[in-house]
Amino acid sequence: MTRHIFLFISFIMLFTACQKDKQDYHFEKQNTVSIKTADSTFTVTQFETLKVATVLTESIPSRDGYTYQWKAWQVGGDTIILSRNKDLDVSIVLEPGRYELEYKVANTRTGIVSFMIYRLTVNGGFYEGWLVSNNRNGKALLSFIREDGEQFLNPAEIINNTTYPGKALGAFAATDPFGSIALINFFTDQGVYRFNANDLVQNGSTTDIFPEGKQFVSKPCYAVGKSVIDQYIIANGGLHVGLGPVFFPAEVLKPFSDRLPGDYDLFPAIISSSQYATFFYDNRHKRFMQASYLDRELTVASGSDAAAFNMGNVGMTMLASDYGVMGAMSDEYYFVMQGADGRYILSLSNTTPGINQKIGNSPGIEQATAFATSSVAKHLYYAAGNNIYLYDMLANSSRQVFSFPTGVQIADVKLFRSTSKRLVVAANEGAEGKVYYFDLDNLGDVVGNTATDTFSGFGEIAHLFYRD
């Protein structure tokens, strides 16, 4: 009897459940939001304001409320909330670098979230531009002309609340597109000072780089090899090597080696024409030398008399070195050489000698003290006294392209490398220095025979270098 009652109750429950399953369901379409901004990537200078206006469109117009959030992060780093407003309008205090920027919109009624991811680049205040090494009132000054034309006469001293004694010789930056290294070394005759390239905060001085101390009696040079595995400093004709960021990123700020042994006197040029070896020029024995990456030995470069010139036995004195065509795996370099019978132009592409030509029909070439070569044309600019000349390698002749007034001495000449359409000249008149921009036409001549822009207020300028 009990069994029958149980079966009856089960039947009733099953029937009731089936009856409920036949009810009619109604599905409500949810309100979603689409996000639109003018750009998908943003670039801002540190401590400046980033503004991003948003247009939000509901799929179903409503009076729903929303919350907003902007946040930024780097891979492996902390997440930083920038704002909780609909549109971004905030001073960016993030460290210089590349970030992911997320914008999130949440419906307060339904909880549905919409979001977008953007690319954000935060540049330091000194992200790109000309380092100007100059001297005023017995002090070495590191000045800067930013890419946008903003000029800073003495930022290193102000930022670090210190002075740099001695005579400024030059400043050199080591950077790469992936941000693995961004350093500046500023040399005076009494020492060397190292800075973060993006903000000019000092992170080292002479004894951090050369623990036994170092003074400089001639113009030095600093650079990384093309593979970014090693750092190099040429000081007083000797080569010193430090580790780069590729294999040993924690060792980048460690001291450099002692002078590599050998009988040589290097011209201050680091010739990173090849991924696999970096070249140097020994003015004592008039030959190229090389160092392989992670190798602490300087050896004579191999060469052949059948080539345009024998790298191991050039027989001339180097006066200048500058870039030609730059590539992903190898670069072209030009060299001005003093031979027994005059001055020559030589070139090297990767490890292969190219041009070996005596410079002809060129007024003032024997008195020239500053040189710059183009990356798009076979052109060499040189300065002699207060005059600038253009040497056409193909025509093997030169012409004057600009002349400063009498009493002005040209200290340095550089080309803006990315286009080779701007000649940048540092010139001194007594203890006062100026930097001039000259735009160039397709023939290499100065447009309008006048400077496009002029920057003044410097002390006596010693050296220019472009930090990119």
pLDDT at 113: 97
Q: How many CB atoms lie within 10 A of CB 119?
A: 13
pLDDT at 177: 67
* Calpha distance 442→154 (Å, rounded): 36
Q: Are 462 and 135 in contact (CB under 8 A)?
A: yes
Q: How many CB atoms lie within 10 A of CB 357?
A: 14
Query: How many Cα neighbours within 13 Å face the side chain of 377?
Result: 21
pLDDT at 124: 84
Burial class (CB in 10 A: 0-12, 13-18, 19+), 245: buried
pLDDT at 23: 55
Residues near 139 by Cβ (< 8 Å), separated by ≥ 6?
157, 163, 164, 165
pLDDT at 3: 47
pLDDT at 46: 83
Q: Are 428 and 408 in contact (CB under 8 A)?
A: yes
pLDDT along the chain (468 residues), means of 10: 48 49 62 96 91 96 96 91 97 88 97 96 90 96 96 93 96 85 96 95 97 96 96 98 94 97 98 96 98 95 97 98 92 98 98 98 98 98 97 98 97 95 97 98 97 98 97
pTM of the full predicted structure? 0.81
Residues near 33 by Cβ (< 8 Å), separated by ≥ 6?
56, 57, 58, 59, 66, 105, 107, 112, 114
